[in-house]
Structure 1
Amino acid sequence: MSLRALPILFLFAAALTLTPISGLAAVGLAVGIAPPATVVETPPPPPPPPANVWAPGYWAWDGTKYVWVPGSYVVAPFPGAVWVAGHWVRGGHGWGWHDGHWR
Structure 2
Amino acid sequence: MKKWMLALVATAILGTSAAFAQIVVRVAPPPPVVEARPIAPSPRHVWIDGYHRWDGHRYVWVGGRWVIPPRRGGVWIPGHWDRRPGGYIWIQGHWR
Cα deviation digits, residues 3-35 of structure 1 (max 9, x gap): xxxxxxxxxxxxxxxxxxxxx688311000000
Runs of 4+ in 1 over 3 A off after TM superposition: none
Gaps of 5+ in 1: 1-23
CA contact (8 A) 1:35 1:66 kept: yes
Q: Match of 2:22?
A: 28
Structure 1 residue 54 and structure 2 residue 62: aligned? no
The TM-score normalised by the length of structure 1 is 0.70
Partner Cα separation in structure 1 for residue 56 and residue 20 of structure 2: 10
Partner Cα separation in structure 2 for residue 56 and residue 66 of structure 1: 16
Cα deviation digits, residues 68-103 of structure 1 (max 9, x gap): 000001110111111111100000121000000001
Pairing partner for 1:43 from 17, 37, 51: 37
Larger radius of gyration: 1
Give 1:65 deviation, angstroms.
0.2
The Cα RMSD (Å) is 1.7
Report the number of matched residues: 79
Partner Cα separation in structure 2 for residue 102 and residue 40 of structure 1: 23
Gaps of 5+ in 2: 1-17
Give 1:54 deviation, angstroms.
0.4
The TM-score normalised by the length of structure 2 is 0.75
Partner Cα separation in structure 2 for residue 36 and residue 62 of structure 1: 14
Instruction: Quote the sequence identity (%).
Output: 48
Whichever residue aligns with residue 40 of structure 1, its letter is: V
Alignment map for 1:1-103 (pairs within 5 Å): 27-45=21-39, 47-103=40-96
